[in-house]
């Protein structure tokens, strides 16, 4: 009976560890890989601290919504601006990290739009 119980507990542990191990494969513990996404602002939600960027490469369009969890350096040609100053259509480059299903913005650079 004890062997059966131990076998069941061990099996359950392996079943639960499998998906977590597959998700974390290739990532170092305690670190996240920074990525870059270039495109145009689609929307800004200052209440939820989120913004969405659309990128088009080789005719394929993709959108990513970024969360802002802490103060993020948002610059426009070297000048710091607030999240609410971003406008639809602004060309931007976002440096971010993926944390589970969320893309967390670490920095954002907005180039000056044509005047």
What tokens appear for 12 in the block?
A: 């359950």
Instruction: Render pLDDT for 68-98 as a digit per residue (tens, 0 to 9).
Output: 887 778 887 778 888 888 889 999 999 999 9
Report whether 76 contacts 39 (CB < 8 A): no
Q: How confident is the model at residue 12 (pLDDT cuts 50, 70, 90)?
A: very low
Q: Indicate if the pLDDT at residue 41 is higher than 70.
A: yes
- Domain extents for the chain? 34-110
pTM of the model: 0.66
The terminus-to-terminus CA distance of the chain in angstroms comes to 79
CATH 2.40.340.10 fits 34-110, yes or no: no
31 — pLDDT class (breaks 50, 70, 90): low
């Amino acid at each position: 009976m004890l062997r059966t119980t131990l076998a069941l507990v061990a099996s359950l542990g392996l079943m639960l560890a499998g998906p977590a191990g597959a998700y974390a494969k290739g990532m170092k513990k305690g670190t996240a890989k920074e990525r870059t996404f270039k495109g145009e602002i689609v929307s800004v939600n200052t209440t939820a601290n989120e913004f969405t960027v659309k990128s088009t490469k080789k005719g394929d369009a993709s959108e990513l919504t970024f969360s802002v969890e802490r103060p993020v350096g948002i610059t426009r040609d070297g000048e710091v601006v607030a999240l609410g100053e971003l406008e639809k259509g602004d060309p931007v480059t976002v440096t971010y990290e993926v944390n589970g299903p969320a893309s967390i913005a670490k920095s954002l650079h907005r180039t000056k739009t044509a005047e």
